[in-house]
C-alpha cells in the first residue's frame, strides 16, 4: 500500500509534464518542430510578385560556402545575418523550399528570444503570454507581407529582410513593454538590437527609438541600458575583429546612401499613406490617451518641477500616448525605406498593454471601450492582411500546375495557374521573335509593363529561361571541352553558380538594381568581371534596367570576352582564353 507522500511524488512528474504541455512555451517548441518537418521536404510554393527577390539568398549562400564574406567580398542590399542563417538552415534542410528557408531562418534568433519573453510573462499570466506569442507565430510562420503589390494571389518572395526586421522589433517591443526580469530584458534587448543591425540598418534605427522611449519612461534602468549597449557593441566588435565585416557593412550603407539620394519627406509620406488604415486609429488612440491622461501628466510635471529626480522624470515620459507616438514614429521611419514588409506588427504588444491598463486600471467604462475599439482597429489590419493573403495564395494553389524544369533544384519548386503558365510560354516566344519592339521600349527608358517584375508570367518565364540557359552552357562545355568555373548573370539575381555548383565572382553586388543598389564599379569589381569565365545577358525581354546594368560591366567585359548567342533568351560573354583553348583542343 502506497503512502500519500509516495503518491504525491509519483504524480508530480505527470503534473509538471501536463503543465508544460499547456504552457505557451510548449506551443512555441511544437510549432518550431512542425516547421522543421516541413523543411525536410520540398513544398512547392505558388509563384508571386517579384518572386526572384529571394533567389538572392541562394546566391549569397553559395558565395558564403565558397568562402566569401558579405560586405567584405561582395556588396549586399542588407545585412549579412539573414544570409548566414539561410546558409546554415539550408545545410540542415537541403530539400527545403528556398522561400520557406529564407522566411523561417530568422526563427533561429527570434525563437529563443521570444521564448525568454514568454517565459517571463507566463509567470504572471499564461493568457497574456499566449496573447504575445500567437501573433508572433502567425507573422513568423506565414511568409507574407502586409501590403499588396499585385492583384492575383501568390507568395511574397520579396521584402523578406524587411519582414525579419519587423519580427525582431516585435520581440524587442514585447520585451520592453512586458518583461520584468532585468537579466532577461538586458539579454533580449542586446540580442534583438545586434540582430537588427546585421539584418538592416534602418531596423536598428527603429529599435533605438523604441529603446530610448523605454529608457525615458524608466522601463529599462540606466545600468541595464549600459549593460545591453556593452553587449551590443561587444558583438559588433567580435564580428569586426574577426572578419572586418562591420566596417565593410558601413561602407556598403554609405555607398547605398550615395545611390539613393532622394528626399526623406516623400518617403515618410508614402509610408504613412500606405499604412493609413492602421495609422488613423493609432493616431486617434494617441490623441484620446493624451487627453484622458492629461491630469496625471500635469501632476508628474509639477512633481518634476518641485522635486527633480530620475523617477520623477520617468513618470513624465511614462505616458501611454508617448509610448504609442514613439512606436508609430519608429514604424514610419522604418517603412519609409521599404518595399514589402510586415508593417507595424510591433505595435501589438503595446496595444495589448494599453487596453489591459485601461480595462483593469479603473478607467471610466466609456473611455476603456473607446481605447479598446481604437486599439483593435489599429491591430487588425496587419493580422487580417497576412491571414487573407496566405489563405488566398495557398487555397488558390489547389488548381495550380507545377513549373516543369530540369536544372532548377529546389528553386524550381513553384506552381502557378495554368492560364499564366501558357501566357509565360507565349510571351517567351514573342520576346524572342520581336526583339526590336522591346529594344524600342528600352530605348525609351520604359519597361514593357509597369508591373513587369511583379507579373507572374514574367517570373515563370524567367525561370524557364534560366533552365534553358543551363542546358545550353552544359552543351557548350561538352562540345568545346571547356568548364565555366565562374558565372556572372547581368541581371537582378544570379542563381547560376548555385544551380551549376560553380562560383560567383567576388565583389559583384547581389540584388543588382542599378537604380537603387549597385554603386559604380571600383577596380576590385572591374577586375572580378574581367576574370569571369562567362557572363550571361538576358534578352527576353531586353529592358532598360538590364541595359543600364550591362553598361556598368561592359567596359570590363569587352576586351577579353566575346558575345555569342546562347539561347533564344540569353546571350553570353565567353572569356576569349576559353574560346582559344577550345579551338586548339
Splitting the chain (585 residues) into consecutive groups of 10 residues, what average pLDDT does each group show? 55 65 92 97 96 97 96 92 97 98 98 98 95 98 93 93 97 98 98 97 96 96 96 97 94 84 80 93 96 87 76 89 97 91 97 93 86 96 96 93 97 96 97 95 94 96 98 95 96 97 95 87 95 97 95 94 96 88 54
537, β-bridge pairs: 571
First vs last C-alpha separation in the chain: 91
Place of cell 488612440: 285
Question: DSSP code of 51?
Answer: G
What's the full length of the chain, in residues? 585
Cβ neighbours of residue 322 closer than 8 Å, sequence gap 6 or more: 213, 217
pTM, full prediction = 0.95
Query: Cα angle at 27 between 26 and 28, to 5 degrees?
Result: 90
How many Å apart are CA 123 and CA 585, to the nearest integer? 75
pLDDT at 4: 59
Sort strands 414-416 and 487-489 into parallel, antiparallel or unpaired: unpaired
Cα separations (Å) of 485 from 73, 322, 488? 18, 57, 10
pLDDT at 6: 57
pLDDT at 420: 96
Q: Which set of grid coordinates corresponds to residue 516?
A: 537603387
How many Å apart are CA 23 and CA 119, to the nearest integer? 9
Q: Which set of grid coordinates corresponds to residue 453?
A: 517584375
Concatenated DSSP letters for 122-165? HTT-HHHHHHHHHHHHHHHHS---SS-S-SS-----S-HHHHHH
pLDDT at 258: 79
* Dihedral sign from CA coordinates of 78, 80, 85, 91: positive
pLDDT at 211: 98
pLDDT at 61: 97
How many Å apart are CA 128 and CA 24, to the nearest integer? 10
How many Å apart are CA 244 and CA 238, to the nearest integer? 9
Phi and psi, residue 491, nearest 5°:
-160, 180
How many Å apart are CA 307 and CA 143, to the nearest integer? 51
pLDDT at 11: 54
Cβ neighbours of residue 247 closer than 8 Å, sequence gap 6 or more: 240
Burial grade of 152 (CB within 10 A; 0-12, 13-18, 19 or more): middle
How many Å apart are CA 405 and CA 399, to the nearest integer? 19
* Residue 518 CB neighbours (<10 A): 24
Q: What H or E segment, with its residue span, contains residue 3?
A: none
488, β-bridge pairs: 535
Amino acid at each position: 500500500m502506497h503512502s500519500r507522500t509516495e503518491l504525491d511524488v509519483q504524480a508530480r512528474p505527470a503534473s509538471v509534464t501536463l503543465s508544460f504541455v499547456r504552457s505557451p512555451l510548449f506551443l512555441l517548441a511544437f510549432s518550431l518542430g512542425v516547421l522543421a518537418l516541413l523543411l525536410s521536404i520540398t513544398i512547392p510554393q505558388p509563384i508571386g510578385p517579384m518572386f526572384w527577390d529571394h533567389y538572392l539568398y541562394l546566391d549569397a549562400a553559395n558565395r558564403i560556402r565558397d568562402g566569401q564574406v558579405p560586405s567584405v567580398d561582395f556588396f549586399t542590399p542588407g545585412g549579412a545575418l539573414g544570409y548566414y542563417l539561410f546558409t546554415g538552415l539550408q545545410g540542415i534542410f537541403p530539400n527545403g523550399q528556398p522561400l520557406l528557408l529564407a522566411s523561417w531562418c530568422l526563427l533561429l534568433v527570434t525563437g529563443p528570444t521570444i521564448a525568454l519573453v514568454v517565459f517571463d510573462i507566463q509567470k504572471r499570466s499564461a493568457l497574456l503570454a499566449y496573447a504575445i506569442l500567437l501573433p508572433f507565430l502567425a507573422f513568423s510562420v506565414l511568409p507574407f507581407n502586409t501590403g499588396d503589390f499585385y492583384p492575383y494571389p501568390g507568395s511574397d518572395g520579396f521584402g523578406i529582410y524587411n519582414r525579419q526586421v519587423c519580427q525582431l522589433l516585435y520581440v524587442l517591443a514585447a520585451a520592453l513593454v512586458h518583461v520584468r526580469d532585468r537579466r532577461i530584458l538586458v539579454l533580449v534587448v542586446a540580442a534583438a538590437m545586434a540582430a537588427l543591425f546585421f539584418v538592416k540598418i534602418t531596423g536598428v534605427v527603429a529599435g533605438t527609438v523604441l529603446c530610448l522611449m523605454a529608457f525615458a519612461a524608466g522601463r529599462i534602468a540606466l545600468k541595464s541600458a549600459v549593460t545591453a549597449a556593452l553587449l551590443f557593441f561587444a558583438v559588433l566588435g567580435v564580428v569586426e575583429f574577426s572578419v572586418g565585416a562591420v566596417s565593410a557593412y558601413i561602407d556598403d550603407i554609405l555607398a547605398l546612401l550615395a545611390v539613393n539620394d532622394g528626399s526623406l519627406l516623400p518617403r515618410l509620406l508614402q509610408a504613412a499613406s500606405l499604412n493609413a488604415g492602421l495609422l488613423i486609429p493609432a493616431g486617434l488612440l494617441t490623441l484620446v490617451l493624451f487627453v484622458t491622461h492629461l491630469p496625471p501628466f500635469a501632476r508628474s510635471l509639477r512633481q518634476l518641477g518641485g522635486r527633480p529626480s530620475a523617477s520623477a522624470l520617468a513618470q513624465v515620459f511614462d505616458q501611454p500616448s508617448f509610448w504609442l507616438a514613439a512606436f508609430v514614429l519608429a514604424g514610419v521611419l522604418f517603412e519609409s525605406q521599404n518595399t514589402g514588409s510586415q508593417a507595424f506588427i510591433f505595435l501589438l504588444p503595446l496595444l495589448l498593454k494599453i487596453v489591459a491598463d485601461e480595462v483593469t486600471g479603473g478607467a471610466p467604462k466609456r473611455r476603456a471601450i473607446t481605447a479598446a475599439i481604437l486599439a483593435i482597429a489599429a491591430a487588425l489590419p496587419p493580422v487580417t492582411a497576412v491571414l487573407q493573403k496566405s489563405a488566398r495564395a495557398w487555397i488558390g494553389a489547389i488548381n495550380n500546375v507545377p513549373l516543369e524544369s530540369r536544372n532548377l533544384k529546389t528553386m524550381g519548386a513553384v506552381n502557378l495557374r495554368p492560364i499564366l503558365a501558357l501566357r509565360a510560354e507565349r510571351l517567351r516566344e514573342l520576346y524572342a521573335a520581336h526583339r526590336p519592339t522591346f529594344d524600342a521600349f528600352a530605348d525609351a527608358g520604359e519597361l514593357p509593363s509597369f508591373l513587369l517584375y511583379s507579373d507572374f508570367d514574367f517570373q515563370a518565364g524567367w525561370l524557364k529561361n534560366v533552365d534553358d540557359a543551363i542546358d545550353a552552357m552544359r552543351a557548350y562545355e561538352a562540345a568545346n571541352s571547356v568548364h565555366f568555373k565562374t558565372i556572372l548573370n547581368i541581371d537582378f539575381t544570379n542563381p547560376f553558380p548555385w544551380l551549376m555548383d560553380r562560383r560567383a565572382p567576388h565583389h559583384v553586388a547581389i540584388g543588382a538594381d542599378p537604380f537603387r543598389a549597385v554603386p559604380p564599379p571600383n577596380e576590385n569589381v572591374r577586375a572580378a568581371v574581367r576574370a569571369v569565365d562567362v557572363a550571361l545577358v538576358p534578352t527576353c525581354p531586353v529592358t532598360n534596367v538590364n541595359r543600364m546594368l550591362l553598361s556598368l560591366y561592359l567596359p570590363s567585359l569587352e576586351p577579353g570576352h566575346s558575345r555569342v548567342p546562347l539561347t533564344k533568351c540569353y546571350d553570353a560573354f565567353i572569356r576569349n582564353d576559353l574560346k582559344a583553348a577550345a579551338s586548339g583542343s
